[in-house]
Structure formats: C-alpha cells, structure tokens
Structure 1
C-alpha cells in the first residue's frame, strides 16, 4: 500500500519488501495480459542462453485474458480465510518441493516465482480488507491472515535448505531478468538472517512476529481513535455553507467536529475562531495517545535489535541498504541539505505569515500550527485574490472523479469501464482498465473514496491482486476520505497523487516475474510518479475539462494562475515541515530515545518553523513511522526526481503522446525490472539531477 499525508497540513514476493502505500500513514502492502512494449535488455545475437530461465518454463495455466478476482457477496470472513489460507498453503507446498532440489535453473526460479506470487496474493487481500471492511470481525480476521503471512515470510527467509537450493543455481544460462531475480533473492535471504546461527535465527523469528503484532495495533489505534470537539454554532464562523449544513447542532445545542479529514481540514482552513482551531488541533495531534507511545517505543526497540543482530549499526542502515540512498548515514545528510535549501524561502514566507497573524492577534509572538493553514488561506485570498471557498465551487466530487479518469485515460492511452461487481461496501466503484481503441483489459481498479467508521483514515493505494502476465490481472484499490460534495483543490491534488500509484500498479502488472510486478521499485522512488501526476491537477487547460461551477462554467484560467501563484507561497515552510517528519522518522529509529515526546519537541524546534505545540504527541498518530520506518525522507527524495522527470514534458502540451508513452513504458510499465535510477535515465536520456527541484524551490 502507498500512503500519503495531506500535501500541506508483507511482501509481494519473499524477495521484496512490502509495497502501499502506503502507502503511508504507512506505505506498504504486497504488490496480466501481454507485457507492455518497453526496450528489452541488450541481447547478443545468437546467444541462446538469454532465453533460459523465464517463468514460463515452469508448467502452469496461462491465458490471454485472465479474469479478475471474484469478490464475495456474503460471508466475507469465510472467503477471506479461504483466499489467504489457500495461498499460504500453496506457498508452503512449493517451498517444500524446492527444498528437495534436483531441478534445472529455469524450473527452480519459476517455482520460486510462484512462492512469491502466492505470498503476494495473501498479503494484498489481508491488508486491504483489514483497513476497509465495515465489519470489525472481518477486519480482525484479515489482521490474523496478515500475521500468518508474515510468519511464513519470516520462515522462508530463514530457511537454509531453500536458500541453498537457490544459491546452487548457475546464473550463466539465465537471461537478464532471471539473473536480476536470483541476485536480489539471494541478497534478501542474507538480509533476513539465513546465514546466522540457530539462536539468532530463532530470535529473528520472535522479533518479526512481534513487530507485525505491534505494527498492526499501532495502525489500528490511529484508525479507531476518532476524537470530537463540541462547539457553539457561533464558533463555526467562516466555514462554508455546505459544511455548516452538514453540521447541525445536537440536542445539547453544540456542533460536533471530528478529527477525520472531511471535518479537520475545512475547519483548520476556514474556521475563524483561533481558540477553536487550537482545541481541534490538540485533539488531532493527540490521537492514539497514550497507547501508541509505548507501542512505538517497543517497535523501535524491536527493529534496532533485529538490525544489530544482523550486523548493522541500527535500523536506518539496515533499511537504507536496499533503497536508492544506499546507506543510513546519507539520510540526515539529505535532510540537512534540503533544509538548508529551503531555509531562505521558508523564513521569508514565515515572516509574511506572522505579520498577518499579528494584525488579528497582536499578542502572538510566534505563529504555530494553529495559524498555519488558516492564515496561509487568508494570505492567498488577500494577496493573490484566491478564495478557497470560491475555488471549491468548481470541484464537485462527481465531476472531479470523472475528470480524473478522463485525464489519466488520455495521458496513458487507456479507458475505464465501470462494472457492476460486488465489493466490501456500497461506496466502492469498480472499473476495468482497458487499452483505448482495442478494449484489451489491463487490470481492474476499485475506488473507495469516502469516510466511514473503522476505515483507514488517510489516503492510500492498496494492492488487491498482483498482476502476472497471462495469469492474474492486476487489481488495486484507492482508499481515501473525501467529501461527497465539494472538494478543496488541495484534495483534488491529493486524489491525482494517489491515482498515480494506482495507474503505476496496473501498468506495471504485466510482468512474468512477481518480483517486478506493480509498484516494485525502491521505496525512495515510488512517490515520484504520483508527485509528478499532481502537475496535471494544476494545469488550467486540464482543469477546465472538468472543473465547472453549478452553472457549468469552467474554472477561469486567471483564477488557476492565481491559485498556482498562491500555492508557491509557503512552499519553503512546507518543505521544512516535511524535513521535520523525515528527521523524526530517522532519529527515532537511530537513537530509540527513552522520551519520544522530548525528542519530538527537539526535532520540531530544529526543523519545523511552526515549532512544537505544547501538550501534543504527534508521533502517536504519525502512521508513517510504522510503514516507512526510518525512511520518510523518501517523499522529498522522490519529489526531487519528480520535478526532474516533469521537465521532460512540454508545459504547453502535457498530453504529448511521444513523451507520455515513453514515460508510461520506460518508467511505469517497467515496474521493478530495473533499478529506479536506470528507469529515470531511460526516460530522460540522462541521470536525474537536483536542478529542477532547486529552481522550483527558489521560484517566488
């Protein structure tokens, strides 16, 4: 799963870390038809060895049009258990066969590929359903299935006989893809601890199981802890009419405002009552407190012990080894580099914001998070003539959803055909993704976009089925919490961002190797395609195709230009806040401090220009600490690459077919078949650089 925070405010194979978003919150979850066109690795003429080792060499059923996964209409608990248990049992059976040896290289790797696919199938369904099903009993069953999958994954990673069977493969007869799968698999076995002594491997099993349990509870506490403030109606001054209409006073005469995004974001953006904003902020930043403080401490300690047992100086070094950044010590260097680059624009914008706060509140010496969103909106309205309440009248949810599908369909050469199939909730809409003009089915997507009790509370892309050429259609789910009526433009941008993960998952779901399927690149690259797709939500020509008011009038071009100018304000502050999140993610894992709140405060004072809000415990609801671990820096690392990739597009023609198709096939469709740096170089014709990001940051 790939997860994202608001913009400003288990494994897919036994050889690959969990993919999500997460998504986000955390980002992680396990990740048909013919492979999309892409330039193959160089081949030597007449070298028959290059054709050896493809998964097709192992007997299996292959079809030109695999069917989507059939979801149940009733008894989800039984279906979920059967789906996950069957896939895990298949993985166990294949492992038992592999341990006996006696097969050629191609057959051994093909069976190993099927182990990864079975694990991915179990992980994907379990994590999605644990986060979206309305029935708590079903969610609990999904959590148990995910624990079972993690246990099996750990056992596989520590299985010496299995490792020896793969290590015995001669790489010489293999083609380039098979060699890559083999190399990465052997690396991951060693990182799992397969070569450690019996006592260490036993302890790693215990650590892995407990990490899964703690992480699940950490996320569950965030998901379930929805807090409420009760306010007199007069304290809702400034809120939009449609918001007020949906928030009528109760029997006690008070209006309930929750910490869920459809309440929290509009209130912090438009609510004129500073004390009411502070009250809501206090509740928002104390979600899952105090329970998650102890859980997070335990999770950090478990990760540190695992890393040190395997010979690393801490979790960041262990985790960064398989990312683009390469080593843990490079993370704080990157954080400080970005922080320094953002310092001048951040301080400049912060001075403007504080001056405006003091016009209303002369007693304020330092603006804090109570003021940030609200007064940024005030300044956009006063200095840039951008009124978010006016802007949102152009973004009716139904029109935005339709526009998103039209824009991405045109960009990537696909169409979305709505299908009437069962799902876990009536809010879910399902579409087949087909090739424009031919109708060839590429995959299936599910859009679950509105809040409800027990549902994952942020925005994320979850796998449902990992795509394998000729065997399984890729299926993914967008899980968000948007208004059913009018949307803030910021939420429109978030929707485009998350949909970027979804199309990545589908377009990369046509590989034969499970290792390469879907969002299978290094974690510090996965946000780049989604961050780049945000640009289409800022283009006037694009927006005018679907952003219309109640009378059908498209959003004025001049308004979009002012919105873009207004969005430039505060980006330095935003970047510094992101670096606070990244520093928190890194230093919590590197130091494992006794007092998490004290370290939170110290880091926030150093990096975040808004500073610490007394009495709050942000870390207990910062779900990315569970999924991204020490790697939250990846959002900004990806943004550096996203800005550079976007420079290849003509700003006057964002739908240029040659560039769009080159990007689709060389970056998205390639999945994990190459290192991310090579994918970007294939697309740009050169290595990625820092210049485009620096130019964006310095632009005023």
Structure 2
C-alpha cells in the first residue's frame, strides 16, 4: 500500500531530504534512460513500462523541487530546491532531444496495446517531434541550450516576483475605511507610520476599502512595479528565446508551437477567440467603467479616469449603495477556520469523500494536513499552506507534491495561498473554492497507471475549467449557510446572499474585459515580441482597458503567468466558457449527489487519460457550447 511522504522533523535534515527525495529521483531517471538504450531486446509494452518509470522518477523529483523552491521557509533550502528544479527541467530537455532514445521508441509499434498504452506511445512520439529530436545534431544542441536558458530565466523571473515584495508607509488616518480588525493588525511603527505591503492580505483589502485615493494609488503603483526593473530584460530575453525555439522547430511563432497539444489547437485560434470576446465585452465594460467614473466624480469632480487603484473600491461602493451589499458586513461571516472547514465539508459531500486531519511534520507549522478517504480507504493526502510569510509564493496555486500512480504512489497535492488568518473577503472564499478544485482534481485524477496522464494532466487550456466550476459553490445559499456564520453563530442571511448574487452581475463586463487584456498581452508578446515592452503593454491597455493605466508602472514585470502560461493566458477565459456549460448540468441543485458523482467520474477521475473535449462530451452528453457563457456575461448588461 503506497504511503504518504515523511518529512524531516529536524530542520537541519532538509538537505538530506532533498538529496533522497529529489536528487536521487533524478539519478534514477538517468539510470532508467540508460537502460532503455542498452540494446536489450524489449517488447513495446516493456519499452513503455520503462518510459513510465522514468516519468515517475523525474516527475516526482521535479514536482517536489518546484514546490519547495516556492514554499520552504529556509532560503538555503529554497535555493537548493531551485537548483534541483533546474536540473529536472534540463534532464527532461535532454531526454526529449536524445536521438538514440527516440529511435528505441520509434522502433516500437502499437500492435496489441490497449488504448491507454497506445495513447502513451502516440504522445511520447509527438513530444519527441516537438522537442526537435529529428533535427541535425547542431540544431538539437542549439535547441537544448535554448530550452535550458528558458528554464533558468523562468526560475529567476518567478524568484524576483516572489522575493520582490514592496512596502508603503502611510499615516494612520490614511487607513480610513478599512475594517477594524485590519486597522488593529496594522499599528503605527516608531516613526508614526503604518507599513503596508504588496502581499494580498494587505493589498486587496486596502484597495477595496481605503477612502484615500492617493493612498490607494501609492500601494497599487508599488504592486505594479513588482520585480521591475530586474524582470524586464529577463522577459525580453525569454520572449526572444521562445521565438527562436519555435522557428527552429518549423513553427511560425511560439503561440503556434505552444497550442499544438492544447484544446484550442492553433495560435491563430487564440487571436480569433480574442476578437470574439472583444465584440462581446467592449460595450458592457464601457458601461461598467462609466458607472464607476460617475460615482468617483461624486467624491472628486476633477477626476478624469478610473484606474486599477480605484476599481475595487468603487466596485464595492456601488454594490453597497445600489445593491445593498456591504462588503464589510459580508466579511463577518467568513472567518478563515470556518471557511476552511466549510470548503472541505462541501467538497466532501459533493464528491463522497472524507478529509481527515493528520498531525504530521511538514515544512512549516502553518501547514495543515488531511488524508483524503473514499469509503474508508485512503486515496490521497492534501496540504493546506494558506497564509503569507517571507519568501513564500505570493499568489494562489495548487502544487503537486507526489504525482499519484495506481499501486505505486499515493497522490499528494499542496494548496498554496495567502489568505488572512482571521476574517476573509468573499472573493477569498471564491478563490479558496477555485484552488481547491485543482487540489481535488489532483487527488481524484491521481490514480492512473501512466504518469503522463495522472492528476491534472489534461490539456493545459482545460485545466482551469473544473476549478472555475467549483467557484459556483461559493455563491450558493445552502452551501454558504452551512459554514458562513458571524461571531454570534448566526448563518449568513439568505436575502444577503441573494443580494450578493445580484451585485455580482455588476462590472462583469469590465472584469471579463480585464481578463481579455491579460489574454491579449500574453498572446501578443509571444506572437511578435516587441522591442519596447512598456510601449506594447500601453498599446494593449489602450485597446482593451478597461481601466486607465497608471503612468510609470510596469505590471508585465510582475505578471508571473508570462513565465508559467506563456502565450496561453487565454486559458482562463477559454476554460470559463467550458465551466459555465458544465454548470448547466447541475440545474438548481449544486449539491445533487448523483450529478456530483457523475462529474467526479467523468471529468476528474480520468485525469489526462482522454482528450478534454471527450471528457466534457461524456459528462454533458454533447459537445461544449458557448451560449451559457454568453448568457452569464449578459446578466451584467
């Protein structure tokens, strides 16, 4: 029976832990690759089994290295893990360009293979081709060098964002409008000023509630300067190198190369998707921003535009005044411990799972551990690392710790967020459900025989859809009333949830338009890398807005998705279209156990063992449709 990971109890033992659980895995991967090339006669099934073993060894080592580079509290451990992550990526690059290894796999055939094994063989050969294994030795060496340098840049780019937290110091009166618990948690220092950082638990509440527009602007400007200027030359180099890689491989540009194995299929299809959404969102976004600007001018008649320093504030002002939803009143129902327990209970009921707390050592005392059981059998383990600290990944994401393999390894996933320890915004609750969607996908999909298909290993532009679907549960009255209670133990009123849902239709056009801005920036930078990143970003802002840019900022330097998602930020809107269609299957009862189980079995449990379009069609009984997304968008008109 596979067992979960044992972590060191002694902080000094982490170097040895990385050596045995990460570096040793990479060495095993190298040994298995050598075995595949040793000339021994092997059947196709035997070749693929050895290949799968290399995937398991390298994939597990890589997952752990990338995780600990982002979350370990010891900078020396983070640095060592980052070096191991680089080594893992380099090994995968070398494997993909190994001409002799390719010949071993190419000499096999799919006669007698079952469907999963045949799919593995097909994908391996596809990935060899996409790596450039059939190119000349000189071209392969150039491709290897380019890929290795891209990995180096990517790690440094992410590190600069993670470590680049900025601080502003404000007068205490500039915290006017903030909730009492926020003010109490931010006392003035010896200089009489209050320090606020660009970390989410400071930045989001401040931008949402601070009445002082200049103070909001000061903190937002710092946030939009994250990792600048360090990341500007890195991003420019990364874009150029990706373009070179694509062209060496015979593709017109990086998006054309990158989309080949994704649902969308072609780079040109991203451009078409952007144009379609442009037509749907331009007018609704314009109306939303005009309404914000009109309300802003009631406070300051001289103001000329709404920027990203203002939109969160006036969004909640309008929701309070026009929809009778006071965000600060809503907060009282969402304490972190209750939200955590509520999310676990909701997902457990929906998917017939149990989350049992476990007392076990981890990398930090803040981390909570749960075994995931199904009918009394442990099927995975999850880790919740949910609060900010120095040197930690400063957004919200799910990381794999141990990719699950049937009969070999228990799937283990880690939720890494930056939530407050006390009262949460409802937006935080939505994010919790979203990220937990990735986590439960990691566990339920983590029981494949083939490492290539385990966990969330679907097409990358589908991977957000299950998480975006789970956001719906954060808006359901029955779900919220099961855990959202104030200090007196009173559940959130049903009429308040109804008003929250109505208020959520406001600024839907502007929100979607802002996502479209990021989508166009991500795609455009990669389709034709500009000489001037700032000027190109300004041009995208000019077209898509929806908010006026803040002069002198460089938000692309802190746009972490440009490293991880590359040209594929469109994934969020593409997946949202699918998620809104998946939502239609639940009708009026999100907690319907029959539909929940069918969704679990059809969408989550298969992992990447089938094309995402086929998984969706199995669940819906038809191909996915665009109309539910259009209807959702129109609700805000």
1:84 aligns to what? 22
Aligned pairs for 1:56-135 within 5 A: 65-74=1-10, 75-99=13-37, 100-135=39-74
Q: Secondary structure at the match of 1:174?
A: coil
- Asked whether the equivalents of residues 130 and 138 of structure 1 are also in contact (C-alpha less than 8 Å), the reply is yes
Shift of 1:569: 0.2
Q: Secondary structure at the match of 2:153?
A: helix
Q: Hey, what's the Cα distance between the residues in 1 that align with 2:137 and 2:44? A: 29
- Asked whether the equivalents of residues 445 and 502 of structure 1 are also in contact (C-alpha less than 8 Å), the reply is yes
- Asked whether the equivalents of residues 343 and 576 of structure 1 are also in contact (C-alpha less than 8 Å), the reply is yes
Q: Hey, what's the Cα distance between the residues in 2 that align with 1:222 and 1:586? A: 21
2:600 aligns to what? 664
Out of 269, 277, 280, the residue aligned to residue 341 of structure 1 is: 280
Shift of 1:336: 1.6
Q: CA RMSD in A?
A: 0.8
Shift of 1:354: 1.2
Out of 614, 625, 633, the residue aligned to residue 689 of structure 1 is: 625
**1:352 maps to 2:291:** yes
Q: Secondary structure at the match of 2:310?
A: helix
Q: Deviations over 1:192-215 (max 9, x none)?
A: 010000111111111111111111
Shift of 1:351: 1.8
Shift of 1:650: 2.2
Q: Secondary structure at the match of 1:599?
A: helix
Q: Which runs of 5+ in 2 are unaligned?
A: none
Q: Hey, what's the Cα distance between the residues in 2 that align with 1:309 and 1:328? A: 17
- Asked whether the equivalents of residues 494 and 534 of structure 1 are also in contact (C-alpha less than 8 Å), the reply is yes
Q: Which runs of 5+ in 1 are unaligned?
A: 1-64
Q: Secondary structure at the match of 1:316?
A: helix
Out of 360, 365, 368, the residue aligned to residue 429 of structure 1 is: 368
Q: Deviations over 1:313-332 (max 9, x none)?
A: 11111001111010111111
- Asked whether the equivalents of residues 207 and 306 of structure 1 are also in contact (C-alpha less than 8 Å), the reply is yes
- Asked whether the equivalents of residues 77 and 137 of structure 1 are also in contact (C-alpha less than 8 Å), the reply is no
**1:528 maps to 2:462:** no
**1:139 maps to 2:78:** yes
2:609 aligns to what? 673
1:556 aligns to what? 493
- Asked whether the equivalents of residues 339 and 575 of structure 1 are also in contact (C-alpha less than 8 Å), the reply is no
Higher helix share: 2
Out of 572, 582, 594, the residue aligned to residue 519 of structure 2 is: 582
Out of 621, 624, 642, the residue aligned to residue 579 of structure 2 is: 642
Shift of 1:101: 4.5
Q: Hey, what's the Cα distance between the residues in 1 that align with 2:297 and 2:456? A: 46
Q: Deviations over 1:281-301 (max 9, x none)?
A: 110100111010011001111
1:327 aligns to what? 266
1:618 aligns to what? 555
Q: Deviations over 1:634-669 (max 9, x none)?
A: 000000000000100022x21212211111011000
Per mean C-alpha deviation after superposition, the further-off stretch among 329-338 and 174-183 is: 329-338
Out of 183, 190, 207, the residue aligned to residue 268 of structure 1 is: 207
- Asked whether the equivalents of residues 269 and 377 of structure 1 are also in contact (C-alpha less than 8 Å), the reply is yes
Per mean C-alpha deviation after superposition, the further-off stretch among 141-150 and 360-369 is: 360-369
Aligned residues: 633
1:36 aligns to what? none
Shift of 1:366: 1.9
**1:239 maps to 2:178:** yes
Aligned pairs for 1:304-319 within 5 A: 304-319=243-258
Q: Hey, what's the Cα distance between the residues in 2 that align with 1:279 and 1:536? A: 35
Q: Secondary structure at the match of 1:220?
A: helix
Out of 181, 185, 210, the residue aligned to residue 124 of structure 2 is: 185
CA change 1:249–1:666 in 2 (3 A) is same
Out of 440, 451, 459, the residue aligned to residue 396 of structure 2 is: 459
Out of 383, 386, 400, the residue aligned to residue 449 of structure 1 is: 386
- Asked whether the equivalents of residues 450 and 484 of structure 1 are also in contact (C-alpha less than 8 Å), the reply is yes
- Asked whether the equivalents of residues 579 and 608 of structure 1 are also in contact (C-alpha less than 8 Å), the reply is no
Q: Hey, what's the Cα distance between the residues in 1 that align with 2:567 and 2:142? A: 22
**1:543 maps to 2:480:** yes
Q: Deviations over 1:552-587 (max 9, x none)?
A: 000000000111111110010010100110111011
Q: Hey, what's the Cα distance between the residues in 2 that align with 1:317 and 1:662? A: 35
Per mean C-alpha deviation after superposition, the further-off stretch among 449-458 and 71-80 is: 71-80
Q: Hey, what's the Cα distance between the residues in 2 that align with 1:361 and 1:330? A: 43
Q: Hey, what's the Cα distance between the residues in 2 that align with 1:441 and 1:650? A: 31
Per mean C-alpha deviation after superposition, the further-off stretch among 73-82 and 569-578 is: 73-82
Shift of 1:177: 0.6
Q: Which runs of 4+ in 1 moved over 6 A?
A: none
Q: Hey, what's the Cα distance between the residues in 1 that align with 2:487 and 2:278? A: 43
- Asked whether the equivalents of residues 585 and 625 of structure 1 are also in contact (C-alpha less than 8 Å), the reply is yes
Q: Deviations over 1:259-279 (max 9, x none)?
A: 000000000000000000011
